[in-house]
Amino acid sequence: MTENHPYQAFLKDQLTIPTKLLTEYHTHDLTEKEVVVILQLHRFSLIGIYLPTPDEIASYVSFDQQECAMILRRLMQKNMLSIEQDQAEQAMVDEHYSLEPLWNLLYKPQKPKQENPDSEQAMNIFILFEQEFGRPLSPFEIETINIWIDEEEQKPALIKAALREAVLMSKLNFKYIDRILREWKKKGIRSVEQARTHSKSFHNHQSNQEVKQDQPKRDVSLYYNWLEEE
């Protein structure tokens, strides 16, 4: 009869962890708590839970679900975590966390670091959005901003201008901001100055149309909070 030893249970209860994550996390501006959440996300995926909630993660760490949610947002802001979508049966869409951006960061050959004035602005843009929305951004909203910056190559300054335009139009939602950015891109607008000129022209045209139609003129003075700033 084979005797069961504790180490046999240990051998069966393994989690494969990339060595570079443990040896280089500090060089990528990751905290110990962020690493723990990454490991929990990895563990959850291995047991078939691909989009664990902050509550579920908090059950296995020493900090609460609110801090877990904040760490998830931060990992997405750092572009180390993403939410992917898969087309399931009956036109349903399955969503799951993906650590692929982190693995790519750890294992892809890195170019020599260069000073990038947009990188700090990219991090600050998340703070600005949360201030304007008056709440933390959802993972999906963070992913949208990351797509604007990384895939659509929108400059943070231009995203900031689109956010201000949405605020002043009283249409503070991501769909409207996305529409503004797409419209500017279609018209070849690549700088804040070009966006400002285009918006001034648009609002002046709108004001003239309202006057012609003998309708009450909308107060557009607010637009110049950003349209005339230097």
- Tell me the C-alpha distance between 140 and 76, whole Å: 9
| pLDDT, tens digit, 9 for 90 and up, residues 166-198 | 998 889 999 999 999 999 999 898 888 888 887
Query: Domains of the chain, with CATH numbers?
Result: 13-78 (1.10.10.10), 118-211+218-230 (1.10.10.630)
Q: What is the pLDDT of residue 214?
A: 54
Residue 108 banded pLDDT, cuts 50, 70, 90: confident
DSSP 8-state assignment for residue 145: H
DSSP 8-state assignment for residue 113: P
Q: What is the pLDDT of residue 136?
A: 87
- Tell me the C-alpha distance between 81 and 143, whole Å: 9
**Secondary structure (3-state) at 144:** helix
Question: Quick one: CA dihedral 106, 108, 109, 114, positive or negative?
Answer: negative
| pLDDT, tens digit, 9 for 90 and up, residues 135-150 | 988 888 988 998 999 8
Q: What is the pLDDT of residue 221?
A: 43
- Tell me the C-alpha distance between 215 and 24, whole Å: 63
Residue with tokens 């494969």: 16
| pLDDT, tens digit, 9 for 90 and up, residues 76-100 | 989 999 998 877 666 677 889 999 9
Query: What is the pLDDT of the chain when averaged over all its residues?
Result: 83
Q: What would the DSSP string read from start to end of 165-224?
A: HHHHTT--SHHHHHHHHHHHHHTT--SHHHHHHHHHHHHHHHHHHHHHTTPPPP--GGGH
- Tell me the C-alpha distance between 99 and 132, whole Å: 29
Say if residues 37 and 68 touch (Cβ distance below 8 Å). yes
| pLDDT, tens digit, 9 for 90 and up, residues 26-58 | 999 999 999 999 999 999 999 999 999 999 999
